[in-house]
Every structure is written in C-alpha cells, then in structure tokens.
Structure 1
Amino acid sequence: MPTGDKGGSRVLLRTLRAAMASPGDGQQRLDKVVHLVASNMVAEVCSIYLKRDERTLELCATEGLRKDAVHRVRLRVGQGLVGRIADSAQPLATEDAQNTRGFRYLPETGEEIYQSFVGVPIQRLGEVMGVLVVQNRTARQYTDDEIEALEVVAMVIAEMAEAGAFLGSDGMVTGPGRRVGPILVPGTSASEGIAEGIVHLHEPRLVVFDPIAENIETERRRLADAVAAMRGDIDRLIEGGGLGAAAPHRDIFEAYRMFAYDKGWMKRLEEAVESGLSAEVAVEKVQSAVRARMERATDPYLRERLHDLDDLANRLLRYLVSNGADATEGLPENAVLVARSIGPAELMDHAGRVRAVVLEEGSLSSHAAIVARALNIPMVVQAERVIRDANPGDPIVVDGDGGRVHLRPEPSVITAFREKIDLEREARAHYRAEAGQPATSRDGVTVRLRMNAGILADLPSLKQSGAEGVGLFRTELQFMIRGRMPGREVQAALYSRVLSAAGEREVVFRTLDIGSDKVLPFMRREEEPNPALGWRAIRVALDRPLLFRMQIQSLIRGSEGRPLSVMFPMITEADEYFAARELFLAEVERLVRLGHPRPRRLRLGLMLETPSLVFAPDRLFETADFVSVGGNDLMQFFYAADRENERVRGRYDVLNFSFLDLLGQVVARCARAGTPLSFCGEAAGRPLEALALVATGFRELSMRPASIGPVRRILRAASIDETAARMSEARQGGAASARAALADWARGVDLPV
C-alpha cells in the first residue's frame, strides 16, 4: 500500500504540504487532511479527534463517518478506543473493534459497519493533543509500517496545530486565556530558599511552520550538523566550563554526555528524517516516543533520566531552529523559571540568571535538583499544573523551604515574604558572625554540629556554616547518576577529594544505601511489595560482597593513610554489623599487604534506623566505634508511617514522648558502653526539635548546612536544664508531645525558633 514504506510516507507528506498551502480556513484544512489520509491508507474512514480540554475529546473532522457528527460527538479521555489512545499515548490497532476491550458504540457516527480500527495519538513531546483514527469495513491487520506512517502524519498534524494551521475552525481547541487572581500551588521542596520574581515560562518546544522535508538529503545534513554542534557544546561545557576532573557536578554531566553520543538515539533521528519529516519534527517525534515509553517505566531512575533526554532534545531543537542561540537571551533579571521539567545542562545555562525554579515534574534525586542544591537555587518540584495556571510576567513567590509556590500573590503575601527574606538576610549575617563559635548553651552544654553532604559541591559549606565536620556523606549519589558502575579508581579519587576538601574536619562516609527509593541504573531492579522494608542498604551489601568490597577498597585507597570514618546503613540486628566490620577489617589488611597505606585512624560505626536495634546485645554498642541515629527512617518505622507519603508523614511527631523515650534508651545504652552517639536527620536541623534532642542527651547533631546557623543560635541562647524541665512538666501534665509546651516556653523567653 502507498504508506507501507518510507517512499509512500514521503508522498503522503508532500500531498499534505500542498493541501495545507491551499486557501481555506482551519476546518477546511482538517477536512483535507482526513480525506488525503483515507485515500492514501485505502481506508473507508479517517477521523481526527482533538482535545477540547484536559479530559474531553471532540470529533473535529472525518472522512467516512456522518458529517453531522462533527463537533457533536465527544468522549472522555479513557473512554472508548479513542479515549484509551489519548490516555495511554500509545497506538491501538485491532481487526475486530466491537469486541476489543473498551469499545464504545457511538450511534450518531454510523461507525457500526466498520470492523477494523487503528488509532495513534496526536502529540508533541508527550503532550497528547488528540487522536488520528483510520477504519475499514473488513477485518484487516494493520502493519507496523502502516501504523508508523500514521504516527508520522499525526506528528505533522500536531506541528500544524501548534503553528496555528487550524485556528479559526470550531474544531481547534482554544487556549484557556490569561489566568487572573492569586493561586497557591503546593509542591515539594527540592532546594531550599525563598525567592520573589516574575514568571519566565521555559518553553523550549519551538513552533515548526514547515514540518515536512522538501529535500531529505538537506534535512540529513542539517540534523548531522546540529548534532555535531550540540555535542561540541556539551564537550566544551564539561572540559572548559569549570567542570574539570575535580569539579563537583562532573559525574552528572558525563552521564548527560553519554546520552548525547548514544548511537541508537542518532539512528532513530535519522530514520525519522528518512520518513519525510523535517529535522525539527524528527527530533520531536523520537522524543515523543521515548517519553511515552519511559513514563511507563517503574524504575524511578529511568523516569528521572527522561528529563536529561528532554533537555538534549530541546538543546538540539535550538541548534536546528536558531543555530544554538543563547537560551537565556531576553531573560529578565528577576526571572523565576517555570517548566514541566529541566535537565542539568539547561539549568547550568540559567545559573546566575534565575532566582528560582518551579517544575511540574522532577524529584529530590533528579540531576537538576542536585545541581540546584549545589548552586543554591531555590527549587520546588511536583507543582502540578503550574504551567497551566501561570502567565509570562506574572509576579511569583517561591517558598523553597515549605515547597509552595504563590502565583500572582496578594500584596499582603508579598509583604510577608519580603519581611521573611529580610529577616533571613539578617539572620544569615548573624549566623556567619557566629560560624566560628561553639554551640554551647547558657548552662554550659556543648554540642557538636556537623553537616550532611552527598556531592563534592557540598563541601564548601563546611567553612561557610561553621560545621565541625561531615556527619553523613551519602556515597550512593555518585552511583545513582552514572550509567555504569564506577570503578575503584573513580570512587577512590572522589573520596580522596572529599577528604582533601574537608581538611582537618572529620568526614563520616556512609556505605551504599541503595534499594527502596534509590535504584542504581546498572543493577537489575528487584520488584518488591514494600521496598522500604525489603532488600536495601546493608542487606544488599552483604548479599553482593563484590560490590561491597569494591567500595570498601575504594574508601581505604582514597583515604591515602589519612583518618577514615565509615558507617554502615540500616543495621537491624547485631550480626549484620559484625559481618560488615569483619569484611572491612579484612580488606584493610589485604590492601596493606599490597602496599597501600593503612588509615591513620579507622572508625567503623553504624546507623540505628530501626527500633529493633535499640534492644540489640550490649556487645554491639561496646564494639561499634560510634552510633548515628538515622532519625528519618527510625521515626518512619516507629510510627509505621511512610515518610514519602504526604497523607501520613505529617501525622506523627518527633517530639512525641513515646519516640523521645525510645531515643532516651539509645542515649543510655551508648553512655553505658562509652560509645559516641549522634543524631542525623531532618529533626536535627529544626531549632525546636534540636533543643529537645540535646535535652534528651544527644551531644552531636548532623543536618543540612543551611540548618547549622539557626540550630547553633538557639542552642547558644537556651538553657538545656530549663528545656528538660519544661519537657518534664509537659509529660507530668499528661501531654502526649513536648511540642506545644516547648514552643510556648521558647516564645515566652524570646528564643529564636
């Protein structure tokens, strides 16, 4: 059949080009499209359904069905075969439509006489705009070539719609108009901080007015030149743009570069051009297919890499349309970037030019979020439908601390946040002045404040915050951002650079804490009903001793004879710690025999993250060189409340006396064994909770660098004996939690909470 090969597909596209160039309004163009597709596909029916709104599809043109059904027939997304295609963003073909799951009979169309059905989504980069359908009376199996040809046509229809080819017809979905009035958009904090500015909609998708190739060879050349220029740009960014061998984000951008040089991606782009598409539309077609496939992936790592691939496609489009023009051109000084997603390179392009970033997608572990935290750019992710609600130039306040976005805020909201920004500016000046001071309370209790880190870029915060060391260095981040296992040399080099950056301050490396929500791209994902309680952390390490030994060897080699502190995550019973410790000590002796220097001082500790370990044998606490309470997981398991589940995470309180009693038992057991103890987690970084933890007996806290100043300030202003007395009074008065009593007392004595 005519569209069964690339030559036939090109013929159809050229015919469409001529039809679109002829006089007529939007409806007439839609009618020409369905007529031409039906003729070329040798089909009795071709129909175009377009979205009227997010959940409604409308029949906008047809060849073969009843004409009076046009603009009268509507379907919900997910309803019928057409609705299924719109919902899944996937093609659907059947030779027996009436008996296919989801079929819905629409008597007003007269389609009951048609047996065969094939439909494809009309979409641009994952955004479904409608559905293109072909039907035949007889039972017919549509070939892969025919379906691919329809997808090419659907892509062209999407481009034409974006370029305004169908404007003026009743069938074209109209925009929602300019939004007015204040809107609060909830999200998730990915990088803390507060910023005020104006909305800059980051819309890298470019309108392509001529989606069909006039000359295939010319388009091939354009594509090859753009890819080469883009790759050169990325190479220069990595090698010459401050991302040398020791740069903190280099690993992220090396993974990004790997995608840019992927041969499979390039082959698919070339095949799309060969089908008759312009180079720009070829890029969007391939990326739409990648997005549809990866959005269905259960692996969170794969879903996060989709943002990198989107970023590459957008970058390539800029080279094709504007020869790689600066993406930040015309960006106002107080811009807040609002986007569906963004990749790390795109964010680096905007570094120093934007005040904050708001994303509809994204997560805390995305490459962009890691870079945002390293660059101190406030970021809120998972801000649903913010693009729909935002207008370019709208005033916006981004609350990166609370994970909220205020669009077109009321004057009172702006005033409140400006006051908060001013107060935080004053507070930061105070924190800097106190950075070299010990966290000693008014009654003489001194607490060591240390910071958490995960990439080399975090280490400058040691000096800025006045932290006394790194209480937790998350080693898994360097594994999660790579496409393959980093070798011993790569790992050892990183650990060496971290120790060098820390100078005389201690760094506690946590061995790989993977599993649950942290998945390595090069390890086969284990499907589990409850990953948080499954095969993770030390369980993976002990079950995969080669992986564990490689990291141990890298840590020892990276120490280069300097002091080395390491802790094992998620220890749930004593034998796990003893097995890990024995393996580590054996590797030390083996490497010493091979000529590597022995760490000058070796401390091997554990993270206490489950209630079971509170009741472990005395020998565990006597043997461990230190214990670090992992407060986030410990509270999650103590309350049986998933800390990633917004419906339950806020219902339970770290200052509940039952939880404080559990912590008190840990303090007592470590005190009897003479084992150093610290608390690591979100609660350590909140001033009121930190005060209560110190009153419970903790003398070392590890937290985000930004929290060290506020915590030091309240500890220096408070009396720990008075804090404990207020907590005791609340307990004796029958309160379930110390929070209310502590908050009232702190406010009454003007403590900086």
Structure 2
Amino acid sequence: MPERTETESRKLLRRLRDTLAEAGAGQERLDRITHLIADSMRTEVCSIYLFRDADTLELCATEGLNPEAVHKTRLRLGEGLVGRVARTGTPVNTGNAPQERGFRFMPETGEEVFSSFLGVPIQRLGESLGVLVVQSKEARQFSDDEVYGLEVVAMVLAEMTELGAFIGEGEALAAPHQHPVMFRGATGQEGAAEGNVWLHEPRVVVTNMVADDPKAEVERLRSAVERLRVSVDDMLSRAAATDKDQIEILQTYRMFAHSRGWMRRMEEDIGRGLSAEAAVEKEQSAARARLQQSADAYLRDRLHDLDDLSNRLLRILTGQGRETGAELPASPVLVARNIGPAELLDYGRSLKAIVLEEGSVGSHAAIVARALAIPLVIHAERITTEALNGDHILVDGDQGFVHLRPEESVANAFRDKIAMQAKAQERYASLRNLPAQARCGTTISLHMNAGLMADLPSLEGSGAEGVGLFRTELQFLIRNQVPKRGELAALYARVLDAAKGRRVAFRTLDIGSDKVLPYMKPQDEPNPAMGWRAIRLGLDKPGVMRMQLQALIRAANGRPLTVMFPFVAQLEEYTQARDHLMRALDTEGRLGHTLPSKIEVGAMLETPSLAFAPRKFFELADFVSIGGNDLKQFFFAADRENERVRRRYDTLNVSFLGLIEQIVRRCGETGTPLSFCGEDAGRPIEALCIAAMGLRTLSMRPASIGPVKHLLRRVDLGEARSVIDAAREAGAQSVRSAVMDWLTTQG
C-alpha cells in the first residue's frame, strides 16, 4: 500500500477521533462527522442512515442533502441502494447510480441526481446498525483504498453508536441498551423468575478504536496472539491425552490462531490507523461476512469457532471478560448463546433463570435446568447482543417470553403471576403427605424425575413416592472422559441412600441425538433423533454398557435395584440388553460382590413399534414406562426440536390417546406394571386424561407433583373417562375442550 494512502487513512481516523472527543449532543457530533467525511473524501454528499427498528432506516445526518429531511426520510430494508446495502451487509460502489438495480430517487431530500454512489454497512460483529453513504456528481467508481477507508470509519461509527455517543432526537438515536425489549423464544423448562442479567460471555467493549503509534499496536497484537496460540496449544495437548475426539475442533482453533493471512490483515489495519483491538474486530466482522455468504455449510459452521477465538483475543487485549473475577449480581439470570452442562452446573442453584439464543428442549442445558428446577427459555435470538450485565430481566418459562428492561406495568403484572404461583405452591405443600386419590377411590402413584444428587432432597419436599426416572447420562455429559466404574458405583449408591428405601428406576445411558458426549465423536446423521442413540449405541458399545451395569449392581449392594433400558424399538433389543444385565450379575457374583436383593428390568416405550411388539416382550419385561416426549414426536412425525411443528399436535388428540389405551390393554393382559414419564405427566389436564385412560403411575419433575395431585384429588376418573369417550365418539380431533368444559362444571 502506498505510504500516502496510509497517511491519509490515519489522518482521517485521527480527525474522526478528535471530532468524537469534542463535547456536544449526539446530533451535533453526527453533523460534524458527515462534514468531515465529505471534506476528506472530496464528495458533495455524506449521509448516515441508522435503523429506527428492525425494518426501517432513518436519515440521521447529512452533508449535501436537505437538512429538513433529517429524521423524516425513511427507507424500508432493501429499498433503494441504501436499503440494499443494509439488507446484504455488503458495500455498493458504482459510478452510475441511476442505472443500478434498485435505485430510488428521493426528491424529498432535495438531492440532485448524483452519479457516483458508495454505501457501506455500519455493523458490529454481524449486527447491522445502519449505512454510511458518500455521493458525488462526478461519474466514477471509488477506489479500493477509498472503500476500505469508509468501511473503517463505518466500523468506528458502529462502536461509538453501541457506546451511546450519538444519543439525540429521532427514534434511531435512542439510547442503546436502555429501552424495553421483549424476546419470544421457546420453553426449555417451565417456571417464572425475575432478576438481573449475567452474561456468560460478556460483550467486549472496544473504546480505543484509533491509535497513533502503529508499531506499538502491532507489538501489542503480536504479544496477545502469542498468548492465544499458547493457550490453544495447551488445550490441544490436554485433548490429545484425554479427549481425542475433540482434537478436530481444537485443530480448527489452532488453524485460525496460526493463520498468517489473519495476522497480516490485522497488521495492515493497524498500519491504516486502527488500534490492535479495532483491527481484531474489523477482521472478525469481515470474516463473518465472508463465511455467512459461503455455500459450504461446514465453513458457515466455523463462525462460532472464529467468534470464540476472536473474543478470546479481545479479552486478552482489553483485560475484559470472566477473567476479571466480577461477582454475580443479586438474583442472577444467566444469558448466553449456548452453554455446556459442566459450565451450567458450576453456577449451580444460584441462578434464578437461564436464557439461551440457541439450545433445544432436549439439550444438555435443558436437562440440567430441569434437574435444578430453573426456568429456561431457548431460541431467544439476539439477546446476547441486546443485554448488558445487571439489566433487569423477567423470564417466563411457561410461555417462552423474556422481558429485558421491562416497563413497570409489565413488571408488576409479572410479579402478580409469580405471587399467584407461590400461593398455589403453598396450597400444594399441604397435600404433600396425602395420597393422590381421586374421588372415585382410585389412587395414582406419583413419582419424580431426577438426574443429579441435588434433585434427591425433593423426594421429601414434593411428596413423591419414588424416582420414576433417574437420568444416568448427566454424569457422562459433564466429564471430559468416560467416568470410572468406581466413581459411578459410589454416585449410584449415594442416590439409593438419599432415596431412603423408595424405588429408584435407573435409566441406562441415553446418549446420541442431541446428547453427544464431549469425548464421543459426533455422528453426521441427517436425523439424529431417529439415529444411533440410547439402547442402539449401548448394544454397539457393550463395554460401556457392561461397565455401567456393574456399577449399578455394586451400588445396590444387597438392596433392590430397578434398571430400565431407553428407546427400545423391538423385542430383540430388550432381550439382548437384559442378557447383558444377567451376565453382569453372574460376573459380579463370581467376583464376590453382594448382589441386589431384588431386581426389576424394564424398558421405556418411546417408539410406536414397541406398542405392537410380540406378547413375549410384555411377559419378559418386569415393567414398562411410556416415554411420552419421544413417543409423541414419533407418533405424529413431528420433531420436538422444531418450533414450527412441535406444538402442532395435542397430547389429548384422540389418536394418541388411542395408542395409550392400547398400551394399557396390552400391559393389562400380561399383568405388566405400566407408568408414564415425560413433560405431559406433569401437566394437570394431561395427567388427568392419562390417568383416566388407565395409567396408575406417573413420573414428572418435582414441582409438578403438587398441581397434579391437587387436580386428581378433586375429580372422578370414571366420569373423566366418560367425557373422553363421548368426545371420541362425537368425532372430536382432541378431547381437550370437552375435558376443560367438564372441569368447569366441576368447579
């Protein structure tokens, strides 16, 4: 690059920095900036458009157009050349603007027809904030150096906009991170909570965008990159010893960290006047734009790797982030793009709620959130960009809504909801020691789901009669290597100790699909929920299954043991898994270990095929537990991770209830104990209908036991069954409305 261009670039950035440092209101600063840019680039026009909402750009400052148009001229996203820049996130550079696709003449701005047009996006790490435009009468394309210079200025404007440097009149100049925002996500775990934001990975704020000493900045950058490379190499060395299947991901990190092109581009940015931090951020934004446009899905997936690495480098340069040792705020609500189970467990029960931009209803985070009884909202898009540490936040896990910096009227209504729930819980607590006996005299056995030692105290508090499902995979998910048999045996023994003689049904390892172990190579499956998972994986990896079964036997140490195998689709899978357990019992006996005093071996019925299994299956199984979540998604062919379809089908659909009825009948024919486990077991109306169809054991999260028991004790299951049958005979698609109407008549 010619020295003259470098000097001009640094000169422009210094003038921009000095202008931003001057006192004045936001509008005054913007006006000075447009004048400065037009003068420096020798153009008749410079204009700044900022978003006033997600779809509308507002002219916020101009040099060369009619000043009366400021805050009045607005463009829809994609409208005109300015809207095109905003929509695509890429520059438009033309010497004949009127002939460009999408050109729109705006007479209200008093503009003449300018031939030359250069527009660049004002964006920060993929978030579009507006468009910076220069225009001239002379018909010419702007040079690459001029385009680069305007992009750098736009990046500085984006950072300053985020920092609130341009607060003023006009909706587009409203103070950032101050107005109320509502996010519509999806329910990961029910419940409601009020608190203050704690960002798992706080946004790094770059305040020194421009630097006067390029050599010093290059030295800072090289030192920080070297520290980054050492940390990545250390992670890679540890993975090579204990975590071999993670090597591919870490090698991608290493490739980015050691990229000469990455380093060269950042050093060139510094040479043009940017600080080391600004150079990192500019290259991060540019790389994001390149990867997002790629047709290669693998390259697009590398965005997270690039962002993580760039953010690590920015934290080294600025000293910001979790490494500063900041303390959690009062009533912390964790906000993150995504989070692993081990990291989430580190926070423990101190969290009031969790909000994620990604995640799924069956993800690691959702499993831990349910275990800890913490409200969780997933798919709250862009909340990590909008939220700041300490922000007031309301989380409605029941509806999947999040209110950030809510207005007082919204907060008051939300507090009323929490108070009503608390009052209801007090009422449910009085039922703790009473049976879930319906008015007809039928008693339903209510059990709880668990997955952590921290769940077990809820056995006493909730009134649960036992643990209908203990998820054993959590202990595998939170480690970086396969846990040892002795560790598992000790854990399972503590679970049985805490249960104090109550029945605990241990579900063997249910991994695969969205529950991939950190040390297990992810399988490239087009539909992982129906792929290599649960019992299929266990039978193909008999060493892991045998180790877990031996740990369970040793944990029982003479006490009763209940084991159930997940995702069984046919008789042969159950008999093979049962044989593994029988052989493990023989081996443990020969080794001199005390065997369980009694053993129950069951299966989870989560696939429709098992409902049609040979009679021999129901004769062999000591019990069957319906896994409602999976069974419903496969019955309706509706992926429960897909928000477009997962709420489309009702549990109380007559077809699904017909399947439940068949399973009840088949278990009844062989005297096989049957239970229902899943989210629907913990919803009072659904629980009532499932019980009316003949289920006598339900397993749910501890907080649901009170509400379910409260309703069951007030109804006659025979009458409820009559209402269901009448709705079915009448041709209803779902019995929900009929049951709700009947409950209304019951008071």
TM-score (norm 2): 0.70
1:141-178 deviation digits (Å, cap 9, x = unpaired): 96xx99988765543332233345566799x9412799
Match of 1:211 in 2: 209
In the TM superposition, 1:146-545 aligns within 5 A as 154-163=154-163, 173-175=172-174, 186-196=184-194, 204-205=202-203, 208-215=206-213, 217=216, 274=267, 275-276=269-270, 277-278=274-275, 280-281=277-278, 284-285=281-282, 288=285, 319-320=319-320, 324=324, 326=326, 328=328, 337=333, 341=337, 355-356=352-353, 363-364=360-361, 372-373=369-370, 375-383=372-380, 398-405=395-402, 407-408=406-407, 409=409, 413=413, 416-417=416-417, 419-427=419-427, 429-430=429-430, 433-434=432-433, 439-441=436-438, 445-455=442-452, 457-474=454-471, 487-489=481-483, 493=487, 496-503=490-497, 504=501, 505-515=503-513, 523=521, 526=524, 528=526, 531=527, 534-537=530-533, 541=537
Please say which of residues 439-448 and 623-632 is displaced more in the overlay: 439-448
Quote the Cα distance in structure 2 between the aligned partners of 1:536 and 1:347.
Answer: 26
Q: Residue 552 of structure 1 contacts residue 587 of structure 1 at CA under 8 Å; is this kept in 2?
A: no
Which of 693, 699, 702 lines up with 2:699 in the alignment?
A: 702
Quote the Cα distance in structure 1 between the aligned partners of 2:39 and 2:595.
Answer: 77
Instruction: Kindly state the Cα deviation for residue 666 of structure 1 after the two structures are TM-superposed.
Output: 0.8
1:579-626 deviation digits (Å, cap 9, x = unpaired): 5556x4598489769969697466554332333332222223233343
One-letter identity of the residue aligned with 2:173? T
Quote the Cα distance in structure 2 between the aligned partners of 1:81 and 1:590.
Answer: 76
Match of 2:54 in 1: 54
Alpha-carbon distance change, 374 to 657 in structure 1, aligned in 2, over 3 angstroms = closer
SS at match of 1:122: strand
Match of 2:123 in 1: 123
Instruction: Kindly state the Cα deviation for residue 701 of structure 1 after the two structures are TM-superposed.
Output: 1.7
Is 1:610 matched up with 2:588? no
Match of 2:31 in 1: 27
Alpha-carbon distance change, 281 to 369 in structure 1, aligned in 2, over 3 angstroms = farther
Quote the Cα distance in structure 2 between the aligned partners of 1:541 and 1:355.
Answer: 35
Alpha-carbon distance change, 225 to 390 in structure 1, aligned in 2, over 3 angstroms = closer
Quote the Cα distance in structure 2 between the aligned partners of 1:92 and 1:386.
Answer: 27
Which of 689, 697, 719 lines up with 1:692 in the alignment?
A: 689
1:184-208 deviation digits (Å, cap 9, x = unpaired): 7643233332335689999944654
Is 1:561 matched up with 2:584? no
Quote the Cα distance in structure 1 between the aligned partners of 2:443 and 2:292.
Answer: 50
In the TM superposition, 1:26-175 aligns within 5 A as 26-33=30-37, 50-57=50-57, 76-78=76-78, 83=83, 86-87=86-87, 89=89, 91=90, 103-105=101-103, 121-131=121-131, 154-163=154-163, 173-175=172-174
Aligned length: 694
1:410-435 deviation digits (Å, cap 9, x = unpaired): 6984575255134234135325x43x
Quote the Cα distance in structure 2 between the aligned partners of 1:180 and 1:162.
Answer: 13
Instruction: Kindly state the Cα deviation for residue 509 of structure 1 after the two structures are TM-superposed.
Output: 1.8
Alpha-carbon distance change, 611 to 200 in structure 1, aligned in 2, over 3 angstroms = closer
CA RMSD, 1 decimal: 6.0
Quote the Cα distance in structure 2 between the aligned partners of 1:133 and 1:399.
Answer: 42
Instruction: Kindly state the Cα deviation for residue 21 of structure 1 after the two structures are TM-superposed.
Output: 0.9
1:641-670 deviation digits (Å, cap 9, x = unpaired): 454455554454333444323212111212
Match of 1:238 in 2: none
Quote the Cα distance in structure 1 between the aligned partners of 2:399 and 2:702.
Answer: 17
One-letter identity of the residue aligned with 2:208? D
One-letter identity of the residue aligned with 2:632? M
Instruction: Kindly state the Cα deviation for residue 629 of structure 1 after the two structures are TM-superposed.
Output: 1.4
One-letter identity of the residue aligned with 2:495? A
Please say which of residues 461-470 and 220-229 is displaced more in the overlay: 220-229
Match of 1:244 in 2: none
Q: Residue 538 of structure 1 contacts residue 576 of structure 1 at CA under 8 Å; is this kept in 2?
A: no
One-letter identity of the residue aligned with 1:549? P
Alpha-carbon distance change, 123 to 705 in structure 1, aligned in 2, over 3 angstroms = same
Quote the Cα distance in structure 1 between the aligned partners of 2:370 and 2:306.
Answer: 20
Instruction: Kindly state the Cα deviation for residue 698 of structure 1 after the two structures are TM-superposed.
Output: 1.9
Match of 1:551 in 2: 544
**Unmatched runs of 5 consecutive residues or more in structure 1:** 236-250
Quote the Cα distance in structure 1 between the aligned partners of 2:305 and 2:450.
Answer: 22
Match of 2:650 in 1: 653
Q: Residue 495 of structure 1 contacts residue 559 of structure 1 at CA under 8 Å; is this kept in 2?
A: yes
Quote the Cα distance in structure 2 between the aligned partners of 1:385 and 1:112.
Answer: 37
Quote the Cα distance in structure 1 between the aligned partners of 2:79 and 2:676.
Answer: 52
Quote the Cα distance in structure 1 between the aligned partners of 2:419 and 2:600.
Answer: 46
One-letter identity of the residue aligned with 1:174? L
1:5-57 deviation digits (Å, cap 9, x = unpaired): xx987983465124431578423324434665x69xxx999986644542244
Alpha-carbon distance change, 597 to 213 in structure 1, aligned in 2, over 3 angstroms = farther
Match of 1:626 in 2: 623
Alpha-carbon distance change, 565 to 350 in structure 1, aligned in 2, over 3 angstroms = closer
One-letter identity of the residue aligned with 1:537? R
Quote the Cα distance in structure 2 between the aligned partners of 1:347 and 1:282.
Answer: 33
Instruction: Kindly state the Cα deviation for residue 336 of structure 1 after the two structures are TM-superposed.
Output: 7.4
Q: Residue 660 of structure 1 contacts residue 696 of structure 1 at CA under 8 Å; is this kept in 2?
A: yes
State the percentage of identical aligned residues. Answer: 41
**Unmatched runs of 5 consecutive residues or more in structure 2:** 23-27, 106-110, 235-241
One-letter identity of the residue aligned with 1:212? V
Match of 1:245 in 2: none
One-letter identity of the residue aligned with 2:185? G
Q: Residue 682 of structure 2 contacts residue 708 of structure 2 at CA under 8 Å; is this kept in 1?
A: yes
Alpha-carbon distance change, 704 to 176 in structure 1, aligned in 2, over 3 angstroms = same
